[in-house]
Structure 1
Amino acid sequence: MQPSARALQPRVQRLILTRIIKSSLILLALSTTLEVLSIRRALSLEASKPPPPFGNQKVFIASLHWTDERVLREYWVPALRQLAQDIGRESVFVSVFESGSLDDTKGALRDLDDQLTELGIDHRVVLDETTHLDEVTRTRDASNTGWVQMPATKSYRQDWTDWFELQKDSWVPRRIPYLARLRNQVMEPLASQQSKGITYDKVLWLNDVVFTTADVQTLLATRDGDYAAACALDFKQATRFYDSFATRDAQGHAPLTDTWPFFRSAVSRDALMRGQPVPVASCWNGMVAFDAEPIYHSTSSSGDSLAFRGIPDSLAGKHVEASECCLVHADNPLSAEKRVWVNPNVRVGYDGTAYEAVNHGGVWPSVYAIAVGMWRNRLLRWLRLARAPVDWVVEARLREWKRVDSANVEPGAFCLIDEMQVLLWNGWGHA
């Protein structure tokens, strides 16, 4: 008995639907493969370019340290010594500041001090005896800035077994103004060198990261040196981007993910996929080079040159914070003219394992990482998960702060996050 046309209809519809789905999946797979191969070709081309020489530019190297002896002795001090030699002693100054470390970071930096002296390289290494305990126990008076009241009582780890408490409404020093003050101290030799008639073209900030001279050469040559600032990418775990606190894409958004291709902005993401310098609003990322001009010259009606700062205490009191390493780009007049860039061909790590994972000699990232990362990023944007509710919370607090006083202005609004960071005797914590 032959089935009726009506009985066949659902079966035919299912067959057609199945073929459509299969065809769509095949086309999607083919499209993804072609896109991944195109990206890999572009990345391979950029990765194959040799690092350019330093040329005649003069470089001021700046670095701030606390309790990082292991990476200093194993990687950083030898790399810094080699870098200074490669730049040339007539073209480099090294400024290092350490304060109150809990290990023998001072010993590692004394070794560096001795080595730079032996090599005849201009430098200043400051080993400050002031500890975090000194900072948190000093008396606050009404004229002090950089303090905030605890919004609630909170416990913090003292060691592996014991805890200590900070009470609600107690005054505690903020982490970011403290770091900004220390960074400005690192920059002090720029003025003393200028008084001797010596100026520098670039200021290179180095975190306690694993790096090579070639990394620095590539970074300084970003866009042939035409930038307000240029940053590396930094990784604390293999393939996991670290510095989301200071990084904002071309539209001012924090990174969407900590895996490639990181950004929500199409402008930033597209440049990254081509291996080209990535336009961003701000970055730091373990290694950053600044055009030194705004640091030497007045950049505002106040007559001040570019320096590090935190957001006002009155804004921080609303449970809002911003990195000094982001705010400096918001304050930099060259950011609008020459812009801020991430060079994706410069990747540093906070230990040897992380560095090797992203600098293994082949093209980075892998085909698999490109395909997965591309679709993960795409789906997050499509599903409207790119803008977290925290953004709205921060914006509401900023508006409330502005309403209190018309003089309340924060040019680095894109740097703000929903956090309160306080200094502790053994580090820092969230409040």
Structure 2
Amino acid sequence: MANSQNEFELDERGSSRSSEDFYVDDADFETQGLTSNSYSNPPSPALFQPLLNLLPPRITKLFSRYISWVRGRRRRRRSFLGCSILRGRRTGLVFNSVAGITLILVAFTAVFQPSYTNPPAHYENLRRRVMSSDDYGRANSDNQKIFIAASIYDKGGRLVKGAWGRNVLELLNLLGNRNTFLSIYENDSGQEARKELEKFQEEVQCNSQLVYEEHLSLEDIPKITLPDGSDRIKRIAYLAEVRNKVLKPLEDSDVAYDKILFLNDVIFNPVDAAQLLFSTNANEHGKAIYHAACAVDFINPFKFYDTFATRDLEGFSMGVPFYPWFSDAGKGLSRQDVLDGKDAVRVKSCWGGMVAFDATFLQAPILESAARTVEQRNILGSDDDEGDKEMEKSVDGKKWDSYHPIRFRARSSLHREASECCLIHADLIEATRNETFQEDTGIYQNPYIRVAYGSWTLWWLRFTRRFERLYTIPHNIINHQVGLPWPNDHRQGTKDGAGADVGGYCEIEALQLLRENPRKGEKNWESVPIPSE
């Protein structure tokens, strides 16, 4: 190729070819490739001139017109191909430029501005303590009493014999068997699940209560009456009952627990669970201060899962379910906390597959013989020995009925649904209106702690979080385009403004009913259309 090009450049024109015979197309090697003889270029009429002179003038004229038409077509084809190539080059240049800029931004963000990859120093201190020893309870330096609760559906027993079960056992090791109680409630999962739960029980070394029910009785679950007169159980009422089952051991316990940790059927890192318990919103003394602290759960490496139970600090529902998750509705304080990289993002409710509660509000207080030593707890006692009189408890200056600890519940309204995991936070806020948390609710989401509904997703989260800051602008644009967060007339009160609606911000317009006898392949609940007004 180099030789032919040099020959072209050094070729001297003879006197028979003037400068007017040199065409740009002839010097364009790419165009030559598209317009060579292999593309049926017509021969020059000069070669056939002697023959044409022998033909009648009419035929000669027609042949000349044909040659002119072919040449015009060739020129148009050359022009078209040239424009197409130019357009293709421009499109390719734009695409390559955008791709290049995107790769540079991703690399720069991942290296210099990653999201939630560098936690506060006390997180690293706890992790170092865990990794440098095999001692039981090494993550729980203050020997806090931890109640771990999990209500599960485990068809075939795959959960307890898999990664989830191994992680729970490792977490018990980190917290210390003498400091921990494990409560698992399981129902309607089949005999194989029962056998695996019994095997798992043999490996648990701490105090525990693992309960399997062949079938949960529905007799005591409240029902609602539909417009057609039928009585049905709401799905959320069923879920609330199941979650309350796992808290039953608290009612007879003589141990004053410090924290209650709820676990969903998620894949999690045991060290992260300890960080959620002991590192979230730590004060100057390194003590975690919260009423509730939630992880962030993912259904894939990008998508946040538990939007039904999560509300921002002003009670708004979520934006599109990828970072930074919250919208800029109202003051946008929760969103800003995420963008600031805080480990305690202020919210009104959350769950995130794993949540730690201050046990004060979920457990009836213990008498003086087992008085709590944790901050913000002061049992006043009772006036009579038999305990017939209601004992009061003061938490941060607010008295509340100590014989009625907070539990999960459902809404009774017909065409309004609210997650039981959101309503328990609403009741927690109602029970703790005080001056301790002046600018928030004491409920936090901790984006450093992430869990997933699959091992593959959890593995990828360590990478996707590094460049998730790039989603911020697209996230805001999409929120405004689709109208998120969805409107909710009950966010701050009832429609007519007549008083506060506790947990109204948790609601959505829906009706979900339990299927008491689902057929094979069906879910045990259904979503029922709401009649138009």
Question: Does the 8 Å CA contact 2:320/2:479 hold for their aligned counterparts?
Answer: no
Distance 1:397 1:102 in 2: 44
**1:307 lines up with 2:307 in the alignment:** no
Q: CA deviation at 1:217?
A: 1.4
Q: CA deviation at 1:43?
A: 3.0
Q: CA deviation at 1:72?
A: 3.1
Pick closer, same or farther for the CA change 1:423–1:42 going to 2, 3 Å.
Answer: closer
Distance 2:109 2:508 in 1: 34
**1:59 lines up with 2:146 in the alignment:** yes
Aligned to 1:250: 313
Q: CA deviation at 1:349?
A: 0.8
**1:70 lines up with 2:158 in the alignment:** yes
**1:365 lines up with 2:422 in the alignment:** no
Question: Does the 8 Å CA contact 1:232/1:342 hold for their aligned counterparts?
Answer: yes
Q: CA deviation at 1:335?
A: 7.1
Q: CA deviation at 1:70?
A: 2.7
Pick closer, same or farther for the CA change 1:44–1:77 going to 2, 3 Å.
Answer: closer
Aligned to 2:339: 273
Distance 2:504 2:112 in 1: 33
Q: What SS is found at the alignment partner of 2:357?
A: strand
Pick closer, same or farther for the CA change 1:263–1:51 going to 2, 3 Å.
Answer: farther
Aligned to 2:476: 378
Match of 1:188 among 242, 245, 248: 248
Aligned to 1:40: 113
Pick closer, same or farther for the CA change 1:51–1:262 going to 2, 3 Å.
Answer: farther
Match of 1:232 among 295, 302, 305: 295
Aligned to 1:420: 511
Distance 1:65 1:42 in 2: 32
Aligned to 2:273: 216
Letter in 1 for 2:527: H
Letter in 1 for 2:417: E
Q: Output one character per residue of 1:250-301: Cα deviation in whole Å (capped at 9) or x when no partner.
A: 1111111111110014211122123212111001111000001112346745
Q: What SS is found at the alignment partner of 1:101?
A: coil
Equivalent residues in 2 for 1:15-414, closer than 5 Å: 40-41=113-114, 43-46=116-119, 49-50=123-124, 52=126, 53-55=139-141, 56-68=143-155, 69-102=157-190, 104-116=192-204, 119=205, 121-131=206-216, 135=218, 146-150=222-226, 168-194=228-254, 198-220=255-277, 221-224=279-282, 225-265=288-328, 266-276=332-342, 277-296=344-363, 297=365, 300=400, 304-311=404-411, 313=412, 315=413, 317=414, 319-332=415-428, 333-334=431-432, 337-338=436-437, 339-358=442-461, 360=462, 362=463, 364-367=464-467, 369-371=468-470, 373-383=471-481, 385-389=483-487, 391-392=488-489, 398-399=494-495, 410-414=501-505
Letter in 1 for 2:526: G
Q: What SS is found at the alignment partner of 1:190?
A: helix
Pick closer, same or farther for the CA change 1:36–1:42 going to 2, 3 Å.
Answer: same
Q: CA deviation at 1:169?
A: 4.1
**Identical pairs, percent:** 28
Q: CA deviation at 1:343?
A: 0.6
Question: Does the 8 Å CA contact 1:232/1:346 hold for their aligned counterparts?
Answer: yes
Question: Does the 8 Å CA contact 2:114/2:465 hold for their aligned counterparts?
Answer: no
Q: What SS is found at the alignment partner of 1:343?
A: strand
Question: Does the 8 Å CA contact 2:410/2:420 hold for their aligned counterparts?
Answer: yes
Q: Output one character per residue of 1:129-162: Cα deviation in whole Å (capped at 9) or x when no partner.
A: 225xx63xx6xxxxx76212446xxxxxxxxxxx
Distance 1:396 1:274 in 2: 27
Distance 1:37 1:335 in 2: 41
- Which of the pair has the greater relative contact order for Cα pairs under 8 Å at 6+ separation? 1
Question: Does the 8 Å CA contact 2:115/2:465 hold for their aligned counterparts?
Answer: no
Pick closer, same or farther for the CA change 1:329–1:111 going to 2, 3 Å.
Answer: same
Pick closer, same or farther for the CA change 1:175–1:200 going to 2, 3 Å.
Answer: same
Q: Which protein is bigger by CA-based radius of gyration?
A: 2
Question: Does the 8 Å CA contact 1:246/1:284 hold for their aligned counterparts?
Answer: yes
Pick closer, same or farther for the CA change 1:351–1:42 going to 2, 3 Å.
Answer: closer
Using structure 2 for the length normalisation, give the TM-score: 0.61
CA RMSD of aligned residues (A): 3.2
Question: Does the 8 Å CA contact 2:318/2:484 hold for their aligned counterparts?
Answer: no
Distance 2:201 2:293 in 1: 27
Q: CA deviation at 1:346?
A: 0.5
Letter in 1 for 2:305: Y
Q: What SS is found at the alignment partner of 1:96?
A: strand
Distance 1:90 1:412 in 2: 37
Unaligned runs of 5+ in 2: 1-97, 127-138, 283-287, 366-392, 394-398, 519-523, 529-533
Pick closer, same or farther for the CA change 1:102–1:190 going to 2, 3 Å.
Answer: same
Q: CA deviation at 1:310?
A: 1.2
Q: Output one character per residue of 1:284-336: Cα deviation in whole Å (capped at 9) or x when no partner.
A: 1110000011123467459522111112x2x1x1x101111111111113476
Aligned to 2:383: none
Question: Does the 8 Å CA contact 1:331/1:411 hold for their aligned counterparts?
Answer: yes
Distance 1:71 1:253 in 2: 34
Q: CA deviation at 1:91?
A: 0.4
Pick closer, same or farther for the CA change 1:111–1:262 going to 2, 3 Å.
Answer: same
Q: How many residues align?
A: 358
Question: Does the 8 Å CA contact 1:73/1:108 hold for their aligned counterparts?
Answer: yes
Letter in 1 for 2:223: W
Letter in 2 for 1:54: N
Distance 1:189 1:411 in 2: 28
Q: CA deviation at 1:416?
A: 0.6
Question: Does the 8 Å CA contact 2:350/2:421 hold for their aligned counterparts?
Answer: yes
